[in-house]
Amino acid sequence: MSIQRIQPGPRMSQAVVHGDTVYLAGQVAEGATVVEQSQAALARVDELLASVGSDKSKLLSVTIYLADIASFADMNSVWDAWVDGANPPARATVEAKLATPDYFVEFAVIAAI
């Protein structure tokens, strides 16, 4: 089975396709609030999924990393408006120190194609 790497760089690929599954790197975005960052990061998830012929209705699993768990409700307000309610993925949300203090949220996604 072949492996396709999407937007590969020296350290990581933005997505990797193996068989009928796509694995996205953790998606982060710029923004002044967790709401702005969530909206922009999930838009990037949409773009990456579309680039391999998938979409959010085919999400299998999402892990969400929050720099501050107190922002859980704000992030969920964006998530709830974005996620396909008829096809919700398995999901975990954890508080974690992210790569830079400028990031408030990160989404790691696995989806079917």
Q: Are 71 and 65 in contact (CB under 8 A)?
A: no
As a three-state string, the secondary structure of the chain is CCEEEEEECCCCEEEEEECCEEEECCECCCCCCHHHHHHHHHHHHHHHHHHCCCCHHHEEEEEEEECCHHHHHHHHHHHHHHCCCCCCCEEEEEECCCCCCCCCEEEEEEEEC
Residue-averaged pLDDT of the chain: 97
- Residue 89's pLDDT is what? 98
Q: What is the pLDDT of residues 22-59, one digit of tens each?
A: 999 999 999 999 999 999 999 999 999 999 999 999 99
In angstroms, the CA 47 to CA 73 distance is 25
Check whether 62 has a pLDDT greater than 90: yes
Confidence of residue 18 (pLDDT cuts 50, 70, 90): very high
- Residue 1's pLDDT is what? 78
- Residue 44's pLDDT is what? 98
- Residue 40's pLDDT is what? 98
Q: What is the pLDDT of residues 65-96, one digit of tens each?
A: 999 999 999 999 999 999 999 999 999 999 99
